[in-house]
Amino acid sequence: MPDSPIICILAAMAGMRRPTFLILSALALGPLHGYAVIKEVARLSDDSVHLAAGTLYAALDRLSDEGLVEVDREQTVDGRLRRYYRLTATGTAALAAEAEQMQRDARMVTQRLRGAGPAGAPSPA
Protein backbone atom coordinates (compact mmCIF):
# COMPACT_ATOMS: atom_id res chain seq x y z
CA MET A 1 0.00 0.00 0.00
CA PRO A 2 1.58 3.32 -0.95
CA ASP A 3 2.26 5.77 1.89
CA SER A 4 -0.38 8.46 2.25
CA PRO A 5 0.96 12.03 2.44
CA ILE A 6 -0.01 12.26 6.09
CA ILE A 7 1.91 9.09 6.93
CA CYS A 8 4.97 10.47 5.14
CA ILE A 9 4.81 13.73 7.12
CA LEU A 10 4.27 11.95 10.40
CA ALA A 11 7.10 9.50 9.73
CA ALA A 12 9.40 12.44 9.19
CA MET A 13 8.28 14.04 12.46
CA ALA A 14 8.18 10.84 14.51
CA GLY A 15 11.03 9.70 16.72
CA MET A 16 11.98 6.98 14.22
CA ARG A 17 13.34 8.25 10.91
CA ARG A 18 11.55 7.18 7.78
CA PRO A 19 14.35 5.00 6.32
CA THR A 20 14.64 3.21 9.68
CA PHE A 21 10.87 2.71 9.81
CA LEU A 22 10.90 1.33 6.26
CA ILE A 23 13.83 -1.04 6.97
CA LEU A 24 12.04 -2.46 10.00
CA SER A 25 8.83 -2.70 7.97
CA ALA A 26 10.68 -4.57 5.23
CA LEU A 27 11.88 -7.14 7.78
CA ALA A 28 8.44 -7.51 9.35
CA LEU A 29 7.42 -10.39 7.06
CA GLY A 30 10.61 -12.41 7.54
CA PRO A 31 14.42 -12.37 7.29
CA LEU A 32 15.94 -10.61 4.27
CA HIS A 33 19.48 -9.98 3.02
CA GLY A 34 20.84 -6.53 2.22
CA TYR A 35 19.81 -6.24 -1.42
CA ALA A 36 16.35 -7.65 -0.68
CA VAL A 37 15.90 -4.98 2.04
CA ILE A 38 16.84 -2.26 -0.46
CA LYS A 39 14.30 -3.60 -2.98
CA GLU A 40 11.56 -4.01 -0.37
CA VAL A 41 12.10 -0.48 1.01
CA ALA A 42 11.76 0.90 -2.54
CA ARG A 43 8.54 -1.07 -3.01
CA LEU A 44 7.04 -0.04 0.33
CA SER A 45 7.83 3.63 -0.32
CA ASP A 46 6.45 3.49 -3.85
CA ASP A 47 9.96 4.10 -5.21
CA SER A 48 10.37 7.34 -3.27
CA VAL A 49 13.14 5.99 -1.02
CA HIS A 50 16.24 4.40 -2.59
CA LEU A 51 18.68 3.25 0.05
CA ALA A 52 22.36 3.27 -0.78
CA ALA A 53 24.28 0.26 0.53
CA GLY A 54 26.38 2.47 2.80
CA THR A 55 23.26 3.97 4.33
CA LEU A 56 21.61 0.56 4.72
CA TYR A 57 24.54 -1.00 6.57
CA ALA A 58 24.97 2.06 8.81
CA ALA A 59 21.29 1.71 9.74
CA LEU A 60 21.60 -2.07 10.26
CA ASP A 61 24.64 -1.51 12.51
CA ARG A 62 22.71 0.98 14.59
CA LEU A 63 19.57 -1.17 14.78
CA SER A 64 21.71 -4.14 15.73
CA ASP A 65 23.39 -2.15 18.53
CA GLU A 66 19.93 -1.11 19.74
CA GLY A 67 18.79 -4.74 19.71
CA LEU A 68 16.05 -4.23 17.13
CA VAL A 69 17.52 -6.51 14.44
CA GLU A 70 19.90 -9.47 14.46
CA VAL A 71 21.60 -11.76 11.98
CA ASP A 72 19.45 -14.74 11.02
CA ARG A 73 21.79 -16.78 8.82
CA GLU A 74 24.49 -16.57 6.14
CA GLN A 75 24.44 -18.00 2.65
CA THR A 76 26.81 -17.92 -0.30
CA VAL A 77 25.07 -17.62 -3.64
CA ASP A 78 27.11 -17.50 -6.89
CA GLY A 79 30.20 -16.70 -4.85
CA ARG A 80 28.50 -13.76 -3.10
CA LEU A 81 28.05 -13.76 0.65
CA ARG A 82 24.50 -12.98 1.73
CA ARG A 83 23.73 -12.27 5.36
CA TYR A 84 20.05 -12.37 6.32
CA TYR A 85 18.66 -10.07 9.02
CA ARG A 86 15.49 -10.47 11.05
CA LEU A 87 13.54 -8.39 13.54
CA THR A 88 14.04 -9.26 17.19
CA ALA A 89 11.10 -9.28 19.58
CA THR A 90 12.17 -5.81 20.70
CA GLY A 91 12.31 -4.67 17.10
CA THR A 92 8.83 -6.01 16.39
CA ALA A 93 7.45 -4.26 19.46
CA ALA A 94 9.19 -1.00 18.58
CA LEU A 95 7.84 -1.13 15.02
CA ALA A 96 4.33 -1.85 16.23
CA ALA A 97 4.49 0.97 18.77
CA GLU A 98 5.75 3.39 16.14
CA ALA A 99 3.02 2.40 13.67
CA GLU A 100 0.34 2.80 16.34
CA GLN A 101 1.64 6.24 17.31
CA MET A 102 1.66 7.29 13.67
CA GLN A 103 -1.93 6.06 13.20
CA ARG A 104 -3.07 8.02 16.26
CA ASP A 105 -1.32 11.13 15.03
CA ALA A 106 -2.74 10.65 11.50
CA ARG A 107 -6.31 10.31 12.87
CA MET A 108 -5.86 13.41 15.00
CA VAL A 109 -4.52 15.50 12.10
CA THR A 110 -7.20 14.29 9.69
CA GLN A 111 -9.97 15.21 12.15
CA ARG A 112 -8.51 18.64 12.71
CA LEU A 113 -8.20 19.26 8.96
CA ARG A 114 -11.84 18.23 8.47
CA GLY A 115 -12.93 20.45 11.34
CA ALA A 116 -11.02 23.43 10.00
CA GLY A 117 -13.27 23.78 6.94
CA PRO A 118 -12.29 25.65 3.70
CA ALA A 119 -9.05 27.67 3.69
CA GLY A 120 -8.20 26.61 7.20
CA ALA A 121 -10.94 28.66 8.80
CA PRO A 122 -12.62 27.01 11.81
CA SER A 123 -16.14 25.89 10.97
CA PRO A 124 -18.95 27.65 12.87
CA ALA A 125 -20.24 25.85 15.96
Partner 1 sequence: MPDDIRTTRLARGYRRWLMAYPRAYRRERGPEIIATLLDAADPHRSRPAAREAAFLLRHGLSRRVAEAGRRAFVVAAFAAVLGGLSGIALGSWLAWRDVDPMAPDKATAISLAPTVLPFPFEDRAGQFGRSTFWNPYSKNTLHGGTGVRVGRTSVTGFVPPGATVEQVVAGVHQRMRAQGWQNVQTKVHRTGSSTSPLVKAEVTGTRAGYLAAVQIAPALTFDLMWAEPPGHLRDTILGGLAGMLLGALFGLCTSIRMRRYGPRMQRVYSGLCVATLLMLAPACLGNIPTATGSLLANTHRNGPGPSVYWGGFVMYGAEPLAILSLVPILAIIVGCVWPRPAPARTSTTA
Q: Which residues bind partner 1 (CB under 8 A)?
A: 33-35, 38, 52-58, 61, 80-83
Which CB atom, from 10 or from 22, has the smaller least distance to partner 1?
Answer: 22
Contact, 33 vs 84, CB < 8 A?
yes
Shortest distance in whole angstroms from residue 48 CB to partner 1: 16
Which CB atom, from 81 or from 116, has the smaller least distance to partner 1?
Answer: 81
One-letter amino acid for residue 75 of the chain: Q
Give residue 90's Cα distance to chain centre.
Answer: 15
Which CB atom, from 76 or from 123, has the smaller least distance to partner 1?
Answer: 76
Shortest distance in whole angstroms from residue 39 CB to partner 1: 8
| DSSP category for residue 3 | P
In the sheet with 32-33, reading across from the earlier edge strand, the strands are 32-33, 80-87, 69-77
Which CB atom, from 10 or from 38, has the smaller least distance to partner 1?
Answer: 38
Shortest distance in whole angstroms from residue 22 CB to partner 1: 16
* Element holding 81 (H helix, E strand): strand 80-87
